[in-house]
Chains A and B, each alone.
Chain A
Amino acid sequence: MDKNRKIKSGIIYLILVIGSVIMLVPFLWMFLTAFKSTSEATQMNPFIIFPTVWRKEAFLSVVSKMNFLRLYWNTLLLIVERVICAVLTATMAGYAFGRLHFRGKNLAFSLVLFQMMVPSQIFIIPQYLMVSRLGMLNTSFGLLFPGLVTAFGTFLLRQAYMGLPSSLEEAARLDGCNIGQTFLYVMAPLTKSSMVALGIFTALFGFKELMWPLVVNTEQNTMPLSAALAKLQGQFETNYPELMAASLLACIPMIIIYLIFQKQFIEGIATSGGKL
Chain B
Amino acid sequence: MNRKSKVSRRERSEFLWGWLFLLPTMAGLIILNIIPIFQTIYQSLFKTGAFGKGNVFIGLDNYGQLFSDGTVWQALWNTCKYALVEVPFSIAIALLIAVFLNGKIRGRSIWRTIYFLPMVAAPAAVAMVWRWLYNSEFGLLNHILRGMGFSGVNWISNPNIAFISVAVVGIWSVIGYNMVLFFAGLQEIPRDYYEAAQIDGADGISQFFTITLPLISPTMFFVTVTRVIGAMQVFDSIYMMMGRSNPALGKTQSLVYLFYKYSFIEGNKGYGSSIVMLLLLVILLITVIQMFCQKKWVNYS
User: Which residues in A have some Cβ–Cβ distance to B below 8 Å?
Assistant: 8-9, 12-13, 15-16, 19-20, 22-27, 29-30, 33, 41-42, 44, 47, 88-90, 92-93, 95-97, 100-105, 108, 111-112, 114-115, 117-130, 145-146, 148-151, 154, 178-180, 183, 204, 207-208, 210-211, 214-215, 225-227, 229-230, 233, 237, 240, 243-244, 246-248, 250-251, 254-255, 257-259, 262-263, 265-266, 269-271, 273-274, 276
Contact = CB atoms under 8 A, between A and B. Distances in A.
Given A100-B17, A122-B280, A255-B120, A108 B26 contact: yes
A26 B129 contact: yes
A255 B121 contact: yes
B122 A225 contact: yes
B65 to A, nearest CB: 17
Contacts of A22: 172
Interface stretch (B29-37, B70-78, B84-92, B155-163): B29-37
Given A26-B126, A121-B256, A208-B123, A44 B138 contact: yes
State the majority secondary structure of interface residues on B. Answer: helix
Report, nearest first, the 4 A-B pairs whose CB atoms are least far apart: A149-B28, A126-B36, A247-B125, A93-B25
A240 B263 contact: no
A60 to B, nearest CB: 19
B30 A146 contact: no
A43 to B, nearest CB: 8
Contact of A229 (B128, B272, B277): B128
Contacts of A108: 22, 26
A162 to B, nearest CB: 15
Contact of A121 (B19, B97, B123, B233): B233
Contacts of B280: 118-119, 122
Contact of A270 (B117, B124, B181): B181
Contacts of B121: 27, 251, 254-255
Nearest to B275: A121
B116 A266 contact: yes
Given A146-B32, A151-B33, A274-B185, A92 B25 contact: yes
Given A16-B111, A119-B280, A226-B122, A258 B117 contact: yes
Interface of B: 11, 13-15, 17-19, 21-22, 24-37, 39-40, 43, 93, 96-97, 100, 103-105, 109, 111-126, 128-130, 132-133, 135, 137-138, 140, 143, 147, 172, 175-177, 180-181, 183-185, 204, 219, 222, 226, 229, 232-233, 235-236, 239-240, 243, 256, 259-260, 263-264, 269, 272-273, 276-277, 279-280, 283-284, 287
Contact of B133 (A29, A119, A265): A29
Given A47-B143, A274-B185, A26 B124 contact: no
A93 B22 contact: yes
A269 B120 CA distance: 11
A130 B64 CA distance: 28
Contacts of A111: 26, 29-30, 34
In this complex, which of A12, A112, A127, A146 has the most chain B Cβ atoms within 10 angstroms of its Cβ?
Answer: A12
Given A119-B283, A126-B43, A179-B14, A269 B180 contact: yes
Given A210-B236, A266-B116, 4 more contacts: A115-B33, A126-B36, A151-B33, A210-B240
State the majority secondary structure of interface residues on A. Answer: helix
Nearest to A24: B114
B128 A247 contact: yes
A108 B204 CA distance: 48
Contacts of A95: 21
A125 B206 CA distance: 51
B123 to A, nearest CB: 6
Contacts of A266: 112, 116, 180
B212 to A, nearest CB: 15
A43 B100 CA distance: 40
Given A121-B276, A145-B32, A211 B260 contact: yes
B37 to A, nearest CB: 6
B72 to A, nearest CB: 15
A102 B29 contact: no
A12 B34 CA distance: 49
B204 A149 contact: no
